[in-house]
Amino acid sequence: MDETESDFFADTRKNLASVFKKSSSNVEAGEEHMKCYLRIRPFSDAETERGENQECIDIMDDNTILTKAPKDSHTFKHYAHGLGKTSHKFTFSRIFDEDTTQKEFFDDTMLSLVRDFIDGQNCLVFTYGVTSSGKTYTIQGKQSDAGILPRALDVLFNSINNKQLYGITLKPKMFMDVSKLNTEEAEMEKKIKERIMKMSLEDVRDETIVLSISESLVDVFDIENRIREETKISVEDQGQIRFSIWCSFAEIYNEQIFDLLEPMPKKKNAKRPVLRLSDDKNGSPYIKGLKEVNVTTADEAYKILNIGQRNLSTACTKLNHSSSRSHCIFNIKIIRNVILNDPSVCRLSLCDLAGSERSSKTLSQGDRLKEAGNINTSLMTLGRCIEMLRFNQNHKENNRIIPFRDSKLTRLFQNFFCGRGKAAMIVNVNQCASMFDETLHVFKFSAIAKQVRSYFKNFSFTSVSFNCWGLHYMNNYKYP
Ligand SMILES: Nc1ncnc2c1ncn2[C@@H]1O[C@H](COP(=O)(O)OP(=O)(O)OP(=O)(O)O)[C@@H](O)[C@H]1O
């Protein structure tokens, strides 16, 4: 190659690299402590009547609370026997009191993550708290007052509205790969979507599992009348880009994974198909066979959420009639198709964890006890992973194995904790005196979690390769 030619290629490479860089993603690589938000829910009338308000939680400022053990709690009794303390101080990235509206909560916590997600970052948000503490209310909310998930969907579609990829030509696969679809495959995808969208209440009527439909979902199919989030994030600086959005919804129940977009089996005693975890070529775990549905509007995505919610198995416990006994993970994937570039994928996962209380509190028996045991196993594993992550970050020379593989939940979270995304935790609490000991556990868990640093990379930029005029660009990603 003579000098002029090599100059030409060098210039071309430079130009393309700048196009590539600009249009692929705006998110910088970095490191930050995992955001840990506390949301305190108001007392219900019944709780007030029962005398649950004993001023156990005192909000000192935007970041600090002081807990005071009520007289009937184990914590207080231990103290009376000379063990421990009656009051503890905890800090959070931000504390939201009982008067915080859904809109305020979304704007101050989730909106920046949605911005990162639209810019190409993988993000995980999970709620942690005892049963009836407001986890589902925070994620899903009500039709008239949406939680962070429907609002995130609105912001996403408001932002990419006129920049959607036409037709179903690409589909996400595995953790964050993408495949090209031929005409037949595209037709198949359309049919799968039509089938899912047609699912209605009738499909779950015969179900033998106890199903409890949350009050927030009574009018789920009156979607046109829902209140929408109007915020929009500009994508103009992302160059010539087209977006394609895909959703999936999974449930982990008794350490088994189910597709919430799979119709409930009609026959009595028929079992729901169990899905398995698999690793992609980068070692990233993903749920094999989980249906991913192409959605073109926020309303479609919202309908998917509600269809999945209807399929969700719930068990009645003494504490909360409609208490959710499973971990539910709603995934949104964006395929970013940039001119001169291979498509790339980023994902936002929102996980509504099962209640963190111990089984004795919920008077669980038999199957319910097994259920509660498994919930606690995965939450305990999550606790151990978070503790080990913190240990490893403070002992770089003496790293220990993080037990991600000990539960399905932690395997799925693994990527977000290991440099392939950002994670944020929402701690939900009620202020009931009778739940104080359990709530204190939640605070102690969050005290460790908030010390974990998340390393994140601009993954969509670093993992993409492209070919042009014989040039080949490939960036190998090294995990921190
Ligand atoms: N911030 C809030 N403002 C008003 N009501 C709330 C708030 N948070 C929760 N609630 C109400 O409290 C009750 C329990 O909330 P929710 O069902 O979200 O709890 P949960 O933590 O998801 O429980 P589970 O783990 O059993 O599913 C619901 O009736 C919900 O509407």
pLDDT, one tens digit per residue, over 131-181 is: 889 999 999 998 888 999 999 999 999 999 889 988 888 999 998 899 999
d(CA 186, CA 430): 47
How far, in Å, are 222, 228, 347, 461 from residue 231 at the CA level?
Answer: 22, 9, 20, 26
Residue 147: CB within 6 Å of ligand 1?
A: no
Question: What confidence category does residue 21 fall into, taking pLDDT thresholds of 50, 70 and 90?
Answer: very low
317 is in an annotated binding site: no
d(CA 423, CA 348): 10
Mutation probe of ligand 1 site: the residue of 137, 312, 438 with most atoms within 8 A of C-beta: 137
Dihedral sign, Cα of residue 297, residue 301, residue 302, residue 303: positive
CB 105: neighbour CB atoms within 10 A? Answer: 21
Query: Which pLDDT score, from 0 to 100, does residue 282 have?
Result: 84
Residues whose CB is less than 8 angstroms from the CB of residue 334 and which lie 6 or more positions away in sequence, other chains included = 117, 118, 156, 160, 243, 244, 245, 345, 346, 347
Q: Using CB atoms within 10 Å of the CB of residue 276, give its burial: 0 to 12 exposed, 13 to 18 middle, 19+ buried.
A: exposed
Query: Which pLDDT score, from 0 to 100, does residue 364 have?
Result: 52
Residue 401 one-letter amino acid: I
Interval between CA 265 and ligand 1 midpoint (Å): 29
What sections of 295-435 are H helices per DSSP? 298-310, 366-394, 408-417
Residue 324: CB within 6 Å of ligand 1?
A: yes
**Position 356 pLDDT exceeds 70:** yes
Interval between CA 142 and ligand 1 midpoint (Å): 10
Whose C-alpha lies nearest to ligand 1, atom 20?
A: 132
Quote the crossing angle between the two packed helices 183-198 and 298-310, to the nearest 10°.
Answer: 60
Structural domains in the chain plus CATH codes: 110-457 (3.40.850.10)
d(CA 442, CA 431): 12
Q: Using CB atoms within 10 Å of the CB of residue 233, give its burial: 0 to 12 exposed, 13 to 18 middle, 19+ buried.
A: middle
Mutation probe of ligand 1 site: the residue of 95, 105, 136, 253 with most atoms within 8 A of C-beta: 136
Decide: helix, strand or coil at residue 416: helix
φ, ψ of residue 265 in degrees (nearest 5): -60, 140
Interval between CA 324 and ligand 1 midpoint (Å): 11
Interval between CA 114 and ligand 1 midpoint (Å): 23
Tokens in use for 468?
């042009």
Is the model more confident about 260 or about 371?
260
d(CA 316, CA 132): 12
Question: What confidence category does residue 354 fall into, taking pLDDT thresholds of 50, 70 and 90?
Answer: confident
- Tell me if 404 sits within 8 A of 411, measured CB to CB: yes
What sections of 52-167 are H helices per DSSP? 74-80, 102-105, 111-118, 135-139, 148-160
- Tell me if 311 sits within 8 A of 260, measured CB to CB: yes
State pLDDT tens for residues 187-233. Answer: 999 999 998 888 755 444 444 333 444 444 444 556 777 888 999 99
d(CA 313, CA 139): 17
Residue 323: CB within 6 Å of ligand 1?
A: yes
In this prediction, residues 361-381 reach a mean pLDDT of 63
362 is in an annotated binding site: no
Residue 309: CB within 6 Å of ligand 1?
A: no
In this prediction, residues 361-383 reach a mean pLDDT of 66
Residue 212: CB within 6 Å of ligand 1?
A: no
Computed on alpha carbons and rounded to an integer, the radius of gyration of the chain in Å comes to 23
Is the model more confident about 17 or about 64?
64
Residue 134: CB within 6 Å of ligand 1?
A: yes
Residue with token string 């595209």: 186
Residue with token string 């991600």: 404
DSSP 8-state secondary structure symbol assigned to residue 58:
E
Residue 133: CB within 6 Å of ligand 1?
A: yes
Residue 320: CB within 6 Å of ligand 1?
A: yes
Nearest to 131 by CA among 209, 214, 250: 214
Nearest atom, ligand 1, residue 314 CA? 27
Interval between CA 133 and ligand 1 midpoint (Å): 5
State pLDDT tens for residues 390-423. Answer: 898 888 888 899 999 999 999 999 988 887 788 9
Interval between CA 307 and ligand 1 midpoint (Å): 20
State pLDDT tens for residues 417-445. Answer: 887 788 999 999 999 999 999 999 999 99
Interval between CA 136 and ligand 1 midpoint (Å): 6
**Position 328 pLDDT exceeds 70:** yes
Residue 420: CB within 6 Å of ligand 1?
A: no
Query: Which pLDDT score, from 0 to 100, does residue 37 have?
Result: 97
Question: What confidence category does residue 317 fall into, taking pLDDT thresholds of 50, 70 and 90?
Answer: very low
Nearest atom, ligand 1, residue 323 CA? 26
Residue 137: CB within 6 Å of ligand 1?
A: yes
133 is in an annotated binding site: yes
Whose C-alpha lies nearest to ligand 1, atom 3?
A: 41
Query: Which pLDDT score, from 0 to 100, does residue 22 have?
Result: 40
CB 177: neighbour CB atoms within 10 A? Answer: 17
**Position 44 pLDDT exceeds 90:** yes
Interval between CA 320 and ligand 1 midpoint (Å): 9
Tokens in use for 58?
């005192």
Residue 135: CB within 6 Å of ligand 1?
A: yes
Whose C-alpha lies nearest to ligand 1, atom 14?
A: 132
Interval between CA 78 and ligand 1 midpoint (Å): 30
Interval between CA 261 and ligand 1 midpoint (Å): 24
- Tell me the pTM: 0.84
Residue 141: CB within 6 Å of ligand 1?
A: no
Rounded mean pLDDT of the chain? 80
**Position 234 pLDDT exceeds 50:** yes
